[in-house]
Structure 1
Amino acid sequence: SAAGIYGNFGQANYSAAKLALVGFTRTLALEGKKDNIHCNVIAPIAASRMTETVLPPDMLASLKPEMVTPLVAYLCHEETAENGSLFEVGAGYIGKLRWERTGGHGFPIDQQLLPEHIQGKWEKIVDFEDGRATHPDSTTESMESIISNFENTTKVEASRPQVISEDGKVDVEAAKALTFPSESFSYTERDVILYNLGIGAKRTDLNLVYENSEAFTAVPTFGVIPSFAAMNGVPFGEILPSFNPMMLLHGEQYLEIIRPFPPNAKLTSTPYVVDILDKGKGCVATIGVKTSDEEGNDICLNEFTMFIRGAGNFGGKKEGLDRGAATAANKIPNRKPDHIVTEKTGEDQAALYRLSGDWNPLHIDPEMAAVGGFDIPILHGLCSFGIAGKHIFNAYCNNDPNSFKNIKVRFAKTVNPGETLETSMWREGNKVLFQVRAIERDAIVISNAAVNLQGEPSKSSKPKL
């Protein structure tokens, strides 16, 4: 009943027992989902001996049980997909309830937290109207804000200029001047092989899966992997207005290979803000990550371009500067492709690829996928990116990493594990323009894409069995 949701004077035991049913139901919903068993909970109001003493007769006449039972019948029907939800129902009214949490405030984790600190930020902590409120629907979502505060230290806070003003304007130049913590990444031949397998390498591709092969190498798109930890340290809530991680879409990716990856190394990656554009209904944020080795030699450069819905209209510029290959439009020629490669992805490809460090639960947890609006966990965009990069690496670089200069893609649509990907390529001088199509849906999933080549590839980069 409503007493379990909102509490009721003098009914402590009753209210506690009623609210316990909500937690019980939501856990049953999670555990039963794998067997297609759905579970929901209702908070009904109907005429009873208790309500007879507090409500007038005309209201009691409207509170018939017959105005509650149809909802129960609907929720129990085999075609109803609703699961783990809470509804209020009575007198012909039906409404769904959900949690809402403010954007809150993160305090530095390396200093003592005092009541006075909380008092100073109380208005921000309890503000539901500043555009940062979220609606967490799982324990995973509930932890996102807490985990994102792990990097919040007094040292980091002191080095950051104010980016977002009190009226919600964004100082993009101040954002570009921010410094973020560097993150180290060590890998061995095992990690290289795991990545190559994650993007579809076969046991016969000895240069990709056998560490003793003279031509053993990482597919150049491996360059995105060292950057993940660094990206996790970027406090998006401090540089983007009304930031909600559930509204973030990975739009484009640029990767420049400065030096081929050795079989094993210890690398350091440092993130920075490249640009933030105001697109009205949202914003486009580009975060760069520079990766170097222990001697300080630059190895690769990434640019992650993301569209964040609901974070626009902050008074910023709409268009960015031309940054060469990183922002090239890469329109395909009006002719047949010079080369086409078709590859069927595996049903378990996302489960394998994530072991390289892309731990986003959207790609493995059906519950998180459903929150994102997907029927099943989707394949990582950067896995599709790696598969296409592998096709070009084989077709135009002869598997020689020295020939692969950079790659840029736009993620047009998502890919479901098990779909067949078709990479169509057009060579224009030292540039290979390409697009990727999911054959089963006839959908372009990667567009506006190109790899720039350099030098002449070696002639014996792929040993055979």
Structure 2
Amino acid sequence: MPINYPAVMSLREENRAFAWDERDTMLYALGVGMGSDPMDEAELRFVYERGLRVVPTFATVAAWGAGISAEQIGLDRRRTLHGEEHTRFHRPMPPSASIVADSRVVSVIDKGADKGAVVERQTTLFDAVDREPIATITRTAFARGDGGFGGPAVESALAPMRPSRAPDIMVELSTRPDLALLYRLSGDRNPLHADPGVARAAGFERPILHGLCTYGLACRAVLRAFCDYDPSALAGIGARFSAPVVPGDTIRFDLWRDGDDVFFEGRVEARDSVVMKNGHAKLS
């Protein structure tokens, strides 16, 4: 069914309730590799309940299942890719909370029948008690089979440009061969990340890592490089997923700082593959 524009722009999902506790936040932290060295006291604070800190990108799974679905918009899910993720933190993520989530469609761009569509959806998490916002997640999908519906063809705003100099710092993070199996327990049970047969049918030699797990690894790199592992120092983070990561890969994050702006890129050197582009974080 083709995208019915502009009707999709009125789609809303409001006041959907979710909750999490310390176990959920620690499980997510383990799922993005925190605590891989149990003697690293800086990362231990994210996986141990004494003085527990929360990895900011936990916001991306805290209300897993919320949002306007691909089917509601009229997208062919089989040909739709998760292209970008941007998260704004209105306050640090609490170790436990009850929240409500409001979701909407931000934009649907028609790139043409042969190029597909670009769809932006947004979900904001609010504290269930005081209704103050906690985080806003903007998720961009590249729908390769859904262009030509007659919608606007306005290009998205250009991403901020990173400095042309050599990186200010490089952070290498290794991933466990079973990391996708651990990460999926935080919400995304797509069998592409667990079932070898499903992965082969999709054209991969083995299950690949979730893009949002790589996103969490990028958040770890920024926290380590410029925040002294203090979640309150991070006001936002975003990036484009450019190539798959295989569990067991080591990702090298190149990072640049320019005032309160941090730019980053992720690369798996063993395959000479850039896996994350246009990375940008804002320090508070």
TM-score, normalised relative to structure 2: 0.92
Give distance in 2, aligned partners of 1:355 and 1:222: 13
Deviations 1:164-201 (A, max 9, x none): xxxx56323x3222222543221111111111111111
Counterpart in the other structure of 2:173: 343
Counterpart in the other structure of 1:381: 211
Give distance in 1, aligned partners of 2:198 and 2:18: 27
- In structure 1, what residue type is equivalent to 2:102? T
Q: 8 Å contact 2:3–2:146 — kept in the other structure?
A: no
**Where in structure 1 are there 5+ consecutive unaligned residues?**
1-131, 133-167, 323-327, 455-465
Give distance in 2, aligned partners of 1:219 and 1:236: 28
Q: CA RMSD in A?
A: 1.6
Give distance in 2, aligned partners of 1:390 and 1:219: 8
Counterpart in the other structure of 2:152: 317
Relative to structure 2, which stretch is displaced further, 251-260 or 366-375? 366-375
Tell me if 1:282 matches 2:120: no
Deviations 1:367-426 (A, max 9, x none): 221232211110000001100111101221112222100111000111011111001100
User: Which residue of the other structure, out of 118, 122, 142, is the alignment partner of 1:307?
Assistant: 142
Paired residues for 1:61-100 under 5 Å: none
Q: Answer 1 or 2: which has greater helix percent.
A: 1
What secondary structure does 1:228 align onto? coil
User: Which residue of the other structure, out of 12, 34, 37, is the alignment partner of 1:201?
Assistant: 34
Q: Answer 1 or 2: which has greater strand percent.
A: 2
Paired residues for 1:54-453 under 5 Å: 168=2, 170-172=4-6, 174-202=7-35, 203=38, 204=40, 205-213=43-51, 216-231=52-67, 234-240=68-74, 243-280=75-112, 281-295=115-129, 296-320=131-155, 322=157, 328-453=158-283
How many residues matched? 276
State the shift of 1:317 in Å.
Answer: 1.6
Quote the sequence identity (%). 38
State the shift of 1:238 in Å.
Answer: 3.6
Q: 1:376 to 1:179 in 2, by over 3 A?
A: same
What secondary structure does 2:222 align onto? helix
Higher relative contact order (CA 8 A, sep 6+): 2
Deviations 1:201-257 (A, max 9, x none): 1223221111113xx2111111101232103xx2433423xx321111000000000
State the shift of 1:279 in Å.
Answer: 1.2
Q: 1:235 to 1:207 in 2, by over 3 A?
A: closer
Between structure 1 and structure 2, the one with the greater Rg is 1
- In structure 2, what residue type is equivalent to 1:319? V
Give distance in 2, aligned partners of 1:343 and 1:169: 40
Give distance in 2, aligned partners of 1:206 and 1:366: 32
Q: 8 Å contact 2:19–2:99 — kept in the other structure?
A: yes
- In structure 2, what residue type is equivalent to 1:222? F
TM-score, normalised relative to structure 1: 0.57
